[in-house]
Chain A
Amino acid sequence: MTPWGLGGALRHSRLQAILAVAAIGAAVALPVVLVSVGGGVSAHELANLENAGYQIVISASGIHGIENAHALAHRILSTVASTTAASPVLSIAIDAFTATGGPTPILAEGVIPDQFTPTLGPTEDGLFPNPLPLGDPTDDLHFDNGTYVGPATYDVLISTPYESASGVKVGDRLWLGPVANRSQAIAYNVTGTFGVPPSLLGPTGAFAIVLPLSDLQVMTGYGPAPSAVIPDAADTIEVSVTGSVATNPSALNAVRAQVQALVPFYGVSSLTQEAQQLQSASSVLTGFYLALSSVGISVGLLFLALVLLRRVEADRRSIGVRRALGLPGRSIAAGILLDGIVLAALGAIVGLVAGYLLVESIATWAKGTVKEAASLAVFSPPVLAALVVGILLLSLLASGVATRSALKIDITEALR
């Protein structure tokens, strides 16, 4: 700090300077953590979307809200050009029993095997056997045009975490039922295993199974009409398109519109739209984090203003002497502004470092979702630079208050 400004005085009041730096540092660390972790999670989800093997998703309001899923999938493939797969997926928690144990709550996913595989992204693709060893690849035999009277294979794939935990191996039998009652469970053949992709915000799926869609529908009462509340139900239908369409937003949107025309009563969105929505949501969240952090930043800068004001009060005589000697007001103002900026800059640096270390500590020492979220943190230089510039600009405001006070000091009173 220049010995000519009040910086020299601040050298002699280190405690106040340290406290001001600490206050601003704490105020800066919070947005650094929120924005970096929030941005990292958003980027991760965005990457997941971009890496998905499907490009269009059909969804309905309510749970398991899509009906006639088998027929819809066939119709999409037969009428909408450029579609390569239409995979209905029904996800329901059921109970599993081993030969000696259970029940164990487990997430069951009902799929049509030959439609499911093409909709897997690069990450998931390596985790599942290809083709899926679930008997009838089309699921049409058991489904049998909605009568569900065809022969079922009763094949099931289990996740590797469940395999490890339960001791069930490929070739063993596993009893599955909609309630925790073995007498209502049906025996399935374990025909394969699959890995669980890294998951952060969705269902963990650690204990998960995959079985034919029609099997799960019958088991859970979402199968044949009229007994089922929603016949042939699914939660979503994921639609893959040809590579040229997938990489062309306008062509993809045209396909999406054709699918929407087929199912005007369901929501149809492309992943491009979802990615845009996610980016918008991420921007809103970043703004929200910064707004939330502005409270802390305001307190930090208020503290800075108070420290500078206190210094001005303590240095009334020195300021009076400077002004009596004829030093222009701007040189006195410059000294105070410099002090404010230096303290704010130091606080910002401390905050950036503290925020980074905090995120790294959480990623190292925390557990569960918090740890995973922290490990995804992205420290975006433009965002952090904008934060620092904002702090410095606001510090000018805080310094301005003290400067105004200094320039209003009456010289004759200060020299008494």
Chain B
Amino acid sequence: MMIAAVCGVVSALCLVAACKREERGLRVDPPSSARVNSKTLSELRPGNVQPISAPNEFEQNAFAMNEGKRLYEWYNCVGCHAHGGGGIGPPLMDAKWIYGGAPEQIFATIVEGRPNGMPSFRGKIPDYQVWQLAAYVRSMSGQVSKDASPSRDDDMNVKKPEQSTEQQEPRGTGGVPKSAERPQ
């Protein structure tokens, strides 16, 4: 009896987890999730790492992260960051973060922009797509669950698939980097 109950609970949990992985949010619920990040945030920002407020649910969702991968090309993140190896912009496939590697730190980096090149996409990318991009960016250094991260590319593979990227310990988070210091 006990075993049956445990089995039931376990399979129910598995099912729920699988649902999250496969869920396709085609009809995102406007306006909350489709909100365009047009609100100006406070000018005051602490220099250090911000505490994690909420986990990014898209990090368990294969569809959302694949959308993130597509948007990474569409919105021309490739132009500066290449396929994660970096170029004009810093590489994203290593675990070194200048402005923090937590989901909402990446969100803030995309929305607000960063000194010396990273443009602000405020008002240009709907919130839910920024979260999809943030989830994808974290999958590049293996920070998200393996079963949901994107597998091989649609076109020529230029790097290891996100799925087979080893998880790396994030480092270098926080502080204002040399490159972002105001000229004195």
The yes or no verdict on A and B being binding partners is no
Interface residues of B, Cβ cutoff 8 Å to A: none
